[in-house]
Chain A
């Protein structure tokens, strides 16, 4: 067995364990909290017997450990229960909302990486130049600003004052009458502001790391050596400097994906978008227990997958990690 796959298997096992811990934590947290989800279906003052019947149906009267083992058993078979709000399978509800969030985060992530690499490379060309200085103060600004404030400011400027983009939702009211290309343009129109909002803070963070790394690598002796050997500036940049500087960025990107998931939570509320974030908040606020657990499971799996992917890519870039000499 190769060392890469060994590392991978070790990672997967520990990730599964962490997922299990998170789910257990959330499960018991919900069950010990005050409040009764059966009240949504039937008022207890109406008929106590009926309320008990609903509780029995939802298996809320069983002892806690039996509920937990029953839940684990069905979860292993891919059944997360029925959502109280939607009266549908939790997995199918999540499948309705998940694609949007993945698309949203994915698009924003690609933009973040491209923009931050582009800006950092431009800035490092002239350290302490005008571009470098403006960018470093701008990134500080956007790094500090909370996402929901940036989002609302963008809404105020571009949606209210300039009237360029719609202010909320994902579809226009005449969406059904549009042809295929117009539909895509409509989606894009609605998504531009949220994507910018999500990207700004992350671009600021990535840019800062990448710029400092690039500067460090440029000052290393091997770059001087390459210059002395007459290698062109472009080759030095793309073949030698960027691959060396990008490594820490991958780790951060893996971690940041989790934070981005938290960010989408609020951005989806600000812009009224139908994604996992709003689904989660609605589920929490309406005590839809199976859906809450489903959402946290999804979030955990997404984050762990992202971290795993970051680890694999990092190993591809830096073979020293395999021998453990850097740990």
Chain B
């Protein structure tokens, strides 16, 4: 029997890799979580005031790191896809999902982190810089809070860090002399953290290079996956709700409502919808929320058509008529009688819709109308890279290829799901 790599193998390998390379970070996270819970018991106001998105993000990824494997392990007989063969599409989608959930674990820096811009900007992939660590200046808090805060500063990454300096090369004499791009700087030995009698010098490798502000592209890619996935899933859900409701209403009541809704759908389908999206975002302001809502409202048409045609054909079937005669309410009719029938085309359509939303989101970010500069997004990275086309190819190639691979995987996942779930297509 030939051995096939299955999806759970990949998940297991990733879990082990995390354990191996991020053991210290993981223990720090759990320490932080325990000290936060302690703080919550003693001084609940302070604990809650400390809880912001970044902290919650770190806690969640730490908890999910334990919960998800346990869940998968105990429910393994129920979750069939774990035993599917690993294809390119499922590989890419799994990696994306993991970057979505575990972004703070995968990279150990903030997506907007920059040090000395002159030294780290536009570095090609795989280049590295040395980092000198300075001693942390103690701040005065009351005792229970100070432990928590010093631990938090270690775990939660910030966009700046005054306690480190980048250096090309470092010479240690009485003083420590380090070079930054032909600029010579000095530091006292007392200020620097020592480890085993030697000054602590680490290297940071820019795996996929750095951008024009010296930010790590790999990190931004991981966090950008978050934005893309989040926008994709959220706006697809909005489209699902609108398309399902309108399609059900149009198909169920028929008549003039059906005609009007179908005409409106045709109108939206024939008009390049990206134009309206740009118009609305430019006029009413763009934010993460606005992008999600507008793209959600822009994508309900194909779902509406599917639901409407299916409902129109189901409406005259005997089982549906008898369910109606039994006195089921409209909502019950929709969820119990119609949804199970149309679930396959709807799910497949949702996946293609997801790919469309990701394209639209990146195009909007490219035009400067995306979720905004607060979030790293693939489209925004490509837009920034176009300015440096001649000097820094990696700024375009890396996010561009990521985008293409994501969309390819989503498309082929949709196609294979359609084949798998649709019995008419299965027997070739």
CA distance A87 to B123 in the complex (A): 46
Contact A145–B270 (Cβ < 8 Å) = no
- Find chain A residues with CB under 8 A from B404 CB: 141, 144-146, 149
Cβ of A280 within 8 Å of any chain B Cβ, yes or no, is yes
B393-408 vs A, CB cutoff 8 Å, 1 = contact: the mask equals: 1001100100110011
A62-80 vs B, CB cutoff 8 Å, 1 = contact: the mask equals: 0000000000000000000
Contact A145–B407 (Cβ < 8 Å) = yes
Closest to A285 in B: B282
**B residues touching A (Cβ–Cβ < 8 Å)?**
263, 266-267, 269-275, 278-280, 282-285, 355, 359, 362-363, 366-367, 379, 382, 385-386, 389-390, 393, 396-397, 400, 403-404, 407-408, 410-412
CA distance A22 to B271 in the complex (A): 9
**If A140-B408, A146-B363, A255-B270 touch, does A156 touch B275 (CB 8 Å cutoff)?**
no
- Find chain B residues with CB under 8 A from A285 CB: 282
**If A30-B283, A285-B282 touch, does A149 touch B267 (CB 8 Å cutoff)?**
no
> A258's contact among B270, B396, B407, B411, by CB below 8 Å, is which?
B270
Known: A144-B410, A160-B390, A280-B278. 20 other contacts (CB 8 A): A18-B263, A18-B266, A29-B279, A34-B283, A141-B408, A144-B407, A149-B404, A152-B400, A156-B393, A167-B389, A258-B272, A261-B272, A262-B273, A262-B274, A266-B363, A266-B366, A269-B367, A299-B275, A303-B270, A303-B271
How many chain A residues touch B (CB < 8 A): the figure is 46
CA distance A296 to B367 in the complex (A): 19
Cβ of A143 within 8 Å of any chain B Cβ, yes or no, is yes
Residues facing B in A1-51 (CB within 8 A) are 14, 18, 21-22, 26, 29-30, 33-35
Contact B272–A148 (Cβ < 8 Å) = no
Cβ of A292 within 8 Å of any chain B Cβ, yes or no, is yes
Closest to B399 in A: A149
CA distance A34 to B271 in the complex (A): 24
Cβ of A241 within 8 Å of any chain B Cβ, yes or no, is no
- Find chain B residues with CB under 8 A from A30 CB: 279, 283
Contact B403–A146 (Cβ < 8 Å) = yes
Cβ of A103 within 8 Å of any chain B Cβ, yes or no, is no
Cβ of A284 within 8 Å of any chain B Cβ, yes or no, is yes
> A146's contact among B280, B359, B411, by CB below 8 Å, is which?
B359
Contact B274–A29 (Cβ < 8 Å) = no
Contact B270–A304 (Cβ < 8 Å) = yes
Cβ of A117 within 8 Å of any chain B Cβ, yes or no, is no
Contact B272–A262 (Cβ < 8 Å) = yes
- Find chain A residues with CB under 8 A from B400 CB: 149, 152-153
Contact A148–B363 (Cβ < 8 Å) = yes
**If A284-B282, A285-B282, A292-B279 touch, does A144 touch B393 (CB 8 Å cutoff)?**
no
Contact B411–A155 (Cβ < 8 Å) = no
CA distance A179 to B124 in the complex (A): 44
A163 → chain B closest CB, angstroms:
10
